[in-house]
């Protein structure tokens, strides 16, 4: 299994006629993603890589029932596009767009939660369940080079770090069940703790790696969840950004949400909190595979490398 998406997930691409959407759609289809339709207002009747385009989500879903939608639309159009997807009945929405106004994000997150829809992003490069399906630009043109299939879940506040963590796992002989870039904005559709609960429920995920950074309460919520026994599987964490502690509070670096506004939002504080809760905190990427191996043995899991040439 996997979380959020698999080979059966039917996908509609909103904004499919744009340049980035065309590029990602092509490589998603080649990977095996079931993209059933696209939506761009005023483009009804066009075809993109063999995918029919409609003017609205309602008309697309009427002809092509879908489980998920991935958005490639300008920031100002994310709110109406997401609300249209929710109204059309899809159960998963992935928003790749950057710089979406915060008040719009809050609105669509509330609307998605009220409708029981899972929202990934905004500002995500996507989700991949290796060997099954991918949404967004994650993995580029050859995802197999970076994301081998396996039994380790990955959840990251950075899109780029999903690839770095997956490569480190590969070098250690492990593969990935699902990797999610949750988005680097102040407000995201789902919290890191919510992703961990999905991995906890997935029988084909043995352990989880998270990547965190300063700002937000995501990592604090993970610590609370693990401490309370809400996650029984081993969790490893890599938390970057300790350098920010030398700068004035409130300065963001990289992602919009990576700003220390209170002392417990610093990387150092998060590392201490996670470690005290029982999370295995890594000092470097290369530490993660060995740390996971030891944690899986301690947890009584059957440890078997996922990839053919393990180095541990």
- Residues marked as catalytic: 255
Gyration radius (Cα) of the chain, Å: 19
Residue 148 Cα to chain centre, angstroms: 16
> Residue-wise over 275-289: b if at least 16 C-beta within 10 A, else e?
eebebbbbeebebbb
Query: What are 209's strand-pairing partners?
Result: 154, 236
How is the beta sheet containing 235-239 ordered, strand by strand? 133-135, 127-129, 176-181, 149-156, 207-212, 235-239, 280-282
- How far apart are the C-alpha atoms of 152 and 190, rounded to whole Å? 20
Do the Cβ atoms of 234 and 297 come closer than 8 Å? no
The CA angle 183-236-91, to the nearest 5 degrees, is 40
**Residue 293, CB half-sphere, CA atoms under 13 Å: how many?**
18
DSSP state of 299: T
Rounded to 10 degrees, the C-alpha dihedral 273/279/282/287 comes to 170
- CA dihedral (132, 137, 138, 144) positive or negative: positive
Which helix H or strand E contains 150, and what residues bound it?
A: strand 149-156
């Amino acid at each position: 299994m996997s979380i959020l998406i698999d080979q059966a997930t039917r996908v509609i691409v909103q904004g499919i006629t744009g340049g980035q959407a065309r590029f990602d759609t092509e490589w998603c289809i080649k990977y095996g993603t079931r993209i059933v339709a696209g939506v761009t207002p005023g483009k009804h009747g066009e075809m993109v890589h063999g995918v029919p385009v409609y003017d609205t989500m309602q008309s697309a879903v009427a002809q092509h029932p879908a489980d998920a939608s991935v958005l490639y639309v300008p920031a100002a159009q994310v709110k109406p596009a997401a609300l249209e997807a929710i109204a059309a009945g899809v159960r998963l929405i992935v928003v790749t767009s950057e710089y979406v106004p915060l008040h719009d994000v809050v609105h669509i997150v509330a609307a998605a939660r009220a409708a029981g829809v899972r929202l990934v992003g905004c500002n995500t490069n996507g989700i991949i369940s290796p060997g099954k399906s991918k949404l967004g630009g994650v993995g580029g043109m050859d995802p197999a080079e970076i994301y081998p299939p396996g039994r380790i879940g990955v959840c990251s506040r950075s899109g780029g770090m999903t690839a770095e963590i997956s490569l480190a796992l590969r070098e250690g002989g492990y593969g990935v069940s699902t990797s999610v870039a949750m988005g680097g904005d102040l407000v995201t559709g789902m919290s890191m703790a919510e992703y961990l609960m999905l991995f906890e429920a997935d029988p084909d995920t043995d352990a989880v790696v998270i990547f965190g950074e300063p700002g937000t309460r995501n990592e604090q919520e993970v610590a609370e969840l693990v401490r309370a026994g809400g996650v029984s599987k081993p969790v490893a964490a890599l938390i970057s950004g300790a350098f920010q502690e030398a700068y004035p509070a409130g300065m963001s670096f990289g992602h919009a949400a990576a700003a220390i506004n209170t002392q417990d939002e610093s990387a150092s504080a998060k590392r201490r909190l996670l470690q005290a809760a029982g999370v295995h905190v890594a000092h470097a990427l290369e530490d993660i595979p060995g740390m996971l191996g030891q944690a899986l043995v301690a947890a009584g899991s059957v440890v078997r490398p996922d990839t053919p040439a393990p180095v541990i």
